[in-house]
Chains A and B, each alone.
Chain A
Amino acid sequence: MAEKTNARFLIDEIFDKIFKKAKVSQKEQEQVNAALNKELIEKPFRVAVIGQSGVGKSTTLNSVFGLKNYTSNLAEGTTEIVEKIFPMRDGFKLSIYDMPGLNNDVDKDIEYEKLYKKILPGCDVIVYIINAHSRDFGEDCRILKEVVLPICNNNQIRENMVLAVNKIDTIGENIDPNDPELQWDVFRNEPTKKLKAAIKTKLGDIVDKLIDERLLGTAEGFAQHQVVFYSAVFNYNLQDFIRAISKAGKRGWIWPATVGFEQAGRWSDAKVIAN
């Protein structure tokens, strides 16, 4: 862990080092700092989170994006999504669009698709969450292929996407909910040996499905780093998620640049300030 300094954000610390190396004038340093500061502070970092109810949108926002006690309150049939802006630290703001997942209801799906088309192009990161516990990913694959990826490809924002496979901790429940060896080891905060094997098999199946559907391993699908596996409830393997965000589109780097030296999930008392 880096030593504590007076730097507000991680990027301030990084650029302090860059300036020392570069030996540039005070005026030039101020010019760079002012531009970076403006980019970080003036525009909120916009995140769209898409997923069926129960996939863990709220826990993901709480654990990955450092929101405390965020609760998804999407009403049934919601066809208007509001931007919720959360003040994070030192003037940096996080903006969340909590989006409903499509659900095989033709009329609603048309409305939701319109919402996706309207909102997604303005987002810095688009997180599509699927539930690792789920037995069937067919519908998610269809939505990704027929709706979400075409919107992203048409707007050249496919790089902004993260395909997030949540709830890997619950994979054992489908096999035998009564087997303690298939439950999460809460003391060590990691899967038991048996659960690890089950997770590996299940994730292997998910990857096979994504490849079969040409969502992974093809030029028109996701890149490997855009697919992440994690448990939001247990804060497990979140680093891959942070990496995927940092690589997302033109502004993904801004998220980790503002983290500072605390860990994600502990760095704000964010309360919603605008609807």
Chain B
Amino acid sequence: MTTEEREQYNKLSELDREEYDLIKKKHPNWSHSQIITKLGVSVEIGKRLEKGEDVNPDDPTVIEEILKGAKKFLKRCGIIIKEVFEAIDEVLTDVGNKLKDFWDWLWDYKVY
């Protein structure tokens, strides 16, 4: 484990560290990022199975992607209006804050 990987491991909850160790024992050849991915996906699968999500256009993640995509598109078109971009960034920050609760775990341990 590299120092960075060790830090990431230490940030895991006790329960997640136990799970990490179990995965490592079961798959000794997997890298740290593979184990973390497995852990992350397992957590997400568990969440989804507890409560399957209906389609929701107001989902902050989706709104965030629309805003990011539109901003990049406008830039590519050469339509650069400072006030609009600042307002987009402000909304993105708001959306990001809302997302923090929901995606807390994933944000912290996202590998790629």
Contacts and interface: CB of A to CB of B under 8 A. Distances in A.
B49 to A, nearest CB: 5
Given A204-B42, A253-B68, A18 B87 contact: yes
A115 interface: no
Q: For chain A, which range describes its interface: under 10, 10 to 19, 20 to 34, or 35 or more residues?
A: 35 or more
Nearest to B81: A28
B79 A32 contact: yes
B96 interface: no
A22 B71 CA distance: 14
A224 B40 contact: yes
Contacts of A256: 57, 62, 65-66
Contacts of A208: 27, 38
B45 A32 contact: no
A22 B84 contact: yes
Interface string B6-31: 00000000000000000000010011
Which one of B30, B36, B42, B87 has the highest number of Cβ atoms from chain A below 10 Å of its Cβ?
Answer: B87
Interface string A253-274: 1101101110111000000000
23 contacts: A1-B58, A14-B91, A19-B84, A22-B83, A22-B87, A24-B81, A28-B84, A196-B49, A208-B27, A208-B38, A211-B30, A211-B37, A217-B35, A217-B111, A223-B112, A224-B40, A224-B106, A239-B55, A242-B62, A246-B66, A257-B70, A259-B57, A261-B57
Interface of B: 27, 30-31, 33-38, 40-42, 44-46, 48-49, 52-59, 61-63, 65-70, 72-74, 77, 79, 81, 83-84, 86-88, 90-91, 106, 110-112
Interface of A: 1-2, 10-11, 14-15, 17-19, 21-24, 28, 31-32, 35-36, 39, 189-191, 196, 199-200, 203-204, 207-208, 211-212, 216-219, 223-224, 227, 229, 235-240, 242-243, 246-247, 250-254, 256-257, 259-261, 263-265
